[in-house]
Structure 1
């Protein structure tokens, strides 16, 4: 089963990670007009709890907020808690048990939310087939921080994904210089973290990346 066509509008997701509570909000004040999805990174959630997800959602009700909680087990309860704090989107790892992923999907359907299955270090045709079978619709072609700089292209790391039916998020050290390397996957969402958050002119950098996305 293949995609019926490209997404009408490619979305930009800002990843807030390895930042203080105050830095998260200072950054959002600068870049909010240029992003569609606000990701509260795993490290930030570990530092401040899911309360920061709620606070960001309260401050930016017009934006979708993704809680990058990387669920590995207890899919139902983990999902319910994250959605109760205002998350619109949550993440689950592709190496989690099939039932864990299915429970996340079921809770998301009940809550009107979205589940993104993170393919970090666990992808390939068999994985994609399983995810399609259980009804997953969104996946993240994620090259982890410790994997970045390894040389393999996103397309080679995620064989078969470019011809899949999924809504694809791309992540992994993306900036204005390497964005083009991810376009072969026909992403629906481009995730940028330090490529924006560590820039001196964060607003300008977000606008530049947005323009390159077309």
Structure 2
């Protein structure tokens, strides 16, 4: 499955790209930068405009798990993100609220040490994002994915980090359920065509 990551874009660009890619994507991610620019209103607008797609609010919550999770999910997101390095209580509070609302939490493993993965499982985490950050993607070929190789034994895995048709094979070894695709689609002259192309090369799940 494909999650289009809408970030560092205007609201109008986000809407246009989603409309162009709609038939080829499964999840719409409203990126952290977009949320910082437009707040919860953009989640509400996307819920109204695209009622049949799963919406991920990339809140990157580090603290105040209960409050930020309520904000994102009550605004219309189906999934909100919490950082894996956040305090255990933050993660527990976020999961508790999500379950009460019949929604979900995706835990971002950006810069999270391998030793913490087992603890995340113990906390009840189900969805994780194996994430190579924007600032390190220039070194992506040297950034080992080995640390993530066993995640699929315990979690539903999302992968993110400069994904393109050329890099899909590198991420396949993690057996991901969802490929998060940002710049390859959002920077394309024809986002609809780009989303169709990437859909052809990712494994069918």
Gaps of 5+ in 2: none
Establish whether residue 204 from structure 1 lines up as the match of residue 193 from structure 2.
yes
- 1:127 maps to what in 2? 116
Shift of 1:160: 3.5
Distance in 2 between residues matched to 1:165 and 1:129, nearest whole Å = 9
Contact 2:149 2:173 (C-alpha < 8 Å) held by counterparts: no
Alignment map for 1:30-45 (pairs within 5 Å): 30-45=20-35
- 1:192 maps to what in 2? 181
* SS at structure 2 position matched to 1:122: coil
Shift of 1:186: 0.3
- 2:72 maps to what in 1? 82
Report the TM-score, using the length of structure 2 for normalisation.
0.95
* SS at structure 1 position matched to 2:4: strand
Gaps of 5+ in 1: 1-10
Residue in structure 2 matching 1:143, options 132, 152, 158: 132
* SS at structure 2 position matched to 1:148: helix
Distance in 2 between residues matched to 1:84 and 1:135, nearest whole Å = 21
* SS at structure 1 position matched to 2:145: helix
Contact 1:75 1:104 (C-alpha < 8 Å) held by counterparts: yes
- 2:142 maps to what in 1? 152
- Cα deviations across residues 64-90 of structure 1 (Å, max 9, x unaligned)? 000000000011111111111001000
Distance in 2 between residues matched to 1:147 and 1:46, nearest whole Å = 22
* SS at structure 1 position matched to 2:135: coil
Contact 1:34 1:210 (C-alpha < 8 Å) held by counterparts: yes
Establish whether residue 169 from structure 1 lines up as the match of residue 158 from structure 2.
yes
Distance in 1 between residues matched to 2:163 and 2:149, nearest whole Å = 19
How many residues are aligned here? 202
- Cα deviations across residues 147-200 of structure 1 (Å, max 9, x unaligned)? 1122335522435425x3100000011111111110000001100011101111
42-51 vs 142-151, which deviates more? 142-151
Distance in 2 between residues matched to 1:157 and 1:174, nearest whole Å = 18
Distance in 1 between residues matched to 2:174 and 2:113, nearest whole Å = 14
Contact 1:94 1:123 (C-alpha < 8 Å) held by counterparts: no
Contact 1:53 1:67 (C-alpha < 8 Å) held by counterparts: yes
Distance in 1 between residues matched to 2:135 and 2:143, nearest whole Å = 15
Q: Which runs of 4+ in 1 moved over 2 A?
A: 151-162
Distance in 1 between residues matched to 2:144 and 2:198, nearest whole Å = 18
RMSD: 1.2
Shift of 1:54: 0.8
